[in-house]
Structure formats: structure tokens, C-alpha cells
Amino acid sequence: MRKKAKPTGKGKEEGSVPCKQLKMEAAGGPCSTLNFESPSDLFESLISPIKTETFFKEFWEKKPLLIQRDDPAVATYYQSLFRLSDLKILCSRGMYYGRDVNVCRCVNGKKMVLNKDGKVHFLQLRKDFDQKRATIQFHQPQRFKDELWRIQEKLECYFGSLVGSNVYITPAGSQGLPPHYDDVEVFILQLEGEKHWRLYHPTVPLAREYSVESEDRIGRPTHEFTLKPGDFLYFPRGTIHQADTPPGLAHSTHVTISTYQNNSWGDFLLDTISGLVFDTAKEDLEFRAGIPRQLLLQVDATAVARRRLSGFLRTLADRLEGTKELLSADMKKDFVMNRLPPYHMGDPAELSTPGGQLPRLDSTVRWQFKDHTILTVGPDQDQSDETQKKMVYIYHSLKNRRETHMMGNEETESHGLRFPLSHMDALKQIWDHSAISVKDLKLTTDEEKENLVVSLWTECLIQVV
């Protein structure tokens, strides 16, 4: 059995491991494999035996969490997620350096990139791994590994944020990356071998960008430990970290699952403020008045400009307090356009092909794939600014392509429907009820009711019950 570090008098632990550690016994432990019944069940099983409420109160965006498990079932399941041997098959499918694979090594605190040009050949990759002691970083393996797709799709539902991943395979006695911090919340699952980790106090808590830090700036580790297969580690964005595979052992493989990039209150404020200003300017003459002459030529903001802007912000705050609608300019749409489609082992076209009975006025319907759908209000993009009316937009991810998930430069498109704002109450009725009769929808005519549900059914968003 592995020994847990003992707590000291101030709540820290001996052996340079002051972070929270939890052990799970193989026999009768609360976690064997993951529970996919719902997004919340999945996350709870991922961090078991920690309770979700405890995690978000004590650890999320605050401090690291280490869970060490002595459970062969968990270790075996984790090992199935991605193995070094998987690379041979993946390379035969056409992987490319930079896009799919990075080969690198940390030398004297600096990252050396050892990528070749073009297509990745497994024999060359294995040669760099064995002879140059290089780390292989595989980008977004959920594009190819079904169980990672299954996990990350559920996590995207749970967080309401994009969830990416990278696999790192490092030979014994080597380190792939120098000390650095990331702009994402990080969940690490140790899949094969062992990895020695050192974590440090953030220089930029909840960082908004990636940055490498020099050894002489970060001080001593606040946490130091070794992960083994089945172990779990979480740390917040901004946490400085570095990891190496101990010498004399087999290679290490871990997957880093990450989320909450550009998902802060500041990002949400930037996303919603433009719509709020647009609506207010339609009704408030002061917002439409011109700025002073030559204001844009000033080096510093004038006192008059600062006072006016402060007043406008107070007006916006008052308006915000009195509204239930927030016009999301980009965040909602960006999330649903770029997230994973629902996990589905059959033909992907089945998700976007209507099935079952066509809804009629006397039908009872219910929403499906709610976790993959968003309702939002926005301006009618077919009209000019002067005559723009609000529309209800429904976006979904049923037709998204798993193969392009989190690949950045790959083109994506939005899928969904739009309706007049007068349809919002009826849409909310369907959304809020487990099942509802079409004839009870809050629309003026029976024709409108039937047209609404047929449109939703055609897009595979509702089913007849």
C-alpha cells in the first residue's frame, strides 16, 4: 500500500506535500470507473471521494487537489483511455506535426521543439522518444478516442464551457516542458507509469494567458508528489507547475483535461455589455449624442469624458438591474458552435435525422438534447441597424464534427433555428416542462403552434411522447 503523508500542526503535510491528499482502497472504495448517467454524476465520480459541493467551495479556482487511488479497476480504466501503443494506429491515419503532435524536451529550463515537417511517421516518432528522450504531446485525442469523447462531452455539459485535452508521453528520466502556468482549469489523469510533479505559488492567480516561468523566480515547490495510474490531480489556472518521469522506470502517460479558458466574469461582461449599450442607445438620447470635438486626439482622457462615461456606466447598471434579458454577443454561440456533439456510437447522421412521429396540434412533445442546446435573444441580422428587431435564436451541437473539436483554425458553422421574439414564451414552455401539449403553447394561432413544433422536430430538438 502507498503511504499518505502525515499532516503537520498547521494543516500542511510532511514530505513537501501540503496539498489535500485522499486515498481510496481497492476493496469497497467509492470509485471504480466513471458514472455516465448524467453530467453531474460523471463529475462526481471523477473527483470521488470528494463531494462536488466541497470541491467548489474549497478547491475550485483556489488550490490544488490530489487524489491518490489504490484501486486496480480505476488504474485499468485510466490506462484504456490512451496508451503509447495507440500512437502507431493513429499515425497510420494521417497525423501532422504541429497540428496533431508536438515533440519536445525541457533542457536547462527551456523548451526544445523537435518537430519534423509534415506528416508524422511512427518509427521516427518512436526514435525521437527512445533516443532523444523527447516527450510526445498529442493534441485533442478525444477526436479519435471514443472514451475521451464520452468524458469530455459530459464535462462540457456540466461546466457549460469548452473542454479540451492533451496527452503527454514522457520517457524515463526526462521532462517535456519547463515550469509554466496555463490559462485553463486543469484536471490530470495518470494513465501509464509514474510522473513526478512540483507545483508552485502562482505569480498571476487565475491567469488569462500561458507563460513560462524561470526557476529562479518561482521559489520552492508548495506541493511535490508522484502520480501513479488511477491518480487524479486538479489545479487552478495560473498554478505554476513542472513534471518529469523518474529515472529507471517505464515511460509516463497522462491526459490533461482543461476547461474555463476565457470564461471569467470579465469575459462575460465584455460579451454582454455591447448588447446592453445597443439597446439603451435606442431609447436614451444621451447615448446617441456625439462625443466632444477632438476627444480622440487627446493623449489623456479629460475629466469631462471620465464623468460622462461614469454616468453612462451607472445608467447601464440601473438598466441591468431591471432586465431579465442579457444579449450574449459571442460567448453562447461560440460555445455551442465549437463543442463536441453528443456521444453516439452509431452513424453521426442519426443525431440530425428526425425520427418518430411528426408532431401535430394534438401531440404531446418534449425537448431532447437540452444539454446541447441554447436559447438566446439577438438582433435580426437580416435587417439594418435602424430597423433591427430582436429574434430568438436556438443553436445546437447535434451536427458538430468531433474531428475538428478544439482545433482552433478549423472552420466551424452554427446549426439551429430562429423565431420571432413573440415565440419565446412558447419555447420556454417546451423547455421548462418534461412534456407539454402542443395546443397549450402560448401562441396566437394553431398554425403557429404546429409550425413551431414541426420546425423543432425537423432539427431533432423535440420528440413526440
CA distance 240 to 445: 60
Instruction: Return the pLDDT at 373.
Output: 96
> What's the chain's average pLDDT?
90
Instruction: Read off the pLDDT of each residue in 52-70 and give the average, rounded to a whole number.
Output: 97
Asked whether the predicted pLDDT for residue 386 surpasses 60, the reply is no
Nearest 5°: CA angle at 189, between 184 and 195? Answer: 100
Q: φ and ψ at 87, to 5 degrees?
A: -65, -35
Model confidence pTM above 0.85 = yes
Instruction: Read off the pLDDT of each residue in 134-145 and give the average, rounded to a whole number.
Output: 98
Residue 24 pLDDT class (50, 70, 90 cuts): very low
Nearest 5°: CA angle at 325, between 323 and 327? Answer: 130
Grid cell listed for 122: 511512427
Grid cell listed for 180: 509554466
Name the residue among 360, 365, 342 with its Cα closest to residue 352: 342
Instruction: Return the pLDDT at 328.
Output: 73
Instruction: Return the pLDDT at 28.
Output: 34
CA distance 463 to 457: 6
Residue 4 pLDDT class (50, 70, 90 cuts): very low
Are 433 and 439 within 8 A, CB to CB? no
Asked whether the predicted pLDDT for residue 178 surpasses 90, the reply is yes
Among the listed ranges 30-34, 144-148, 441-445, which one has the minimum average pLDDT value? 30-34
Answer with the residue of higher pLDDT: 239 or 32.
239
CA distance 205 to 37: 34
Instruction: Read off the pLDDT of each residue in 197-223 and give the average, rounded to a whole number.
Output: 95
Are 374 and 416 within 8 A, CB to CB? no
Asked whether the predicted pLDDT for residue 153 surpasses 70, the reply is yes
Distances (CA, A) of 305 to 187, 273, 288, 389, 452: 45, 19, 15, 31, 48
User: Going edge to edge, which strands form the sheet with 135-139?
Assistant: 20-24, 65-69, 232-235, 185-192, 252-259, 163-170, 135-139, 101-107, 110-113
Name the residue among 176, 120, 166, 122 with its Cα closest to residue 145: 166
Asked whether the predicted pLDDT for residue 2 surpasses 50, the reply is no
CA distance 105 to 175: 6
Residues linked to residue 174 through DSSP beta bridges, in sequence order: 245
Are 185 and 75 within 8 A, CB to CB? no
Rounded to a whole number of angstroms, the CA Rg of the chain reads 26
Strands 364-367 and 174-175: unpaired
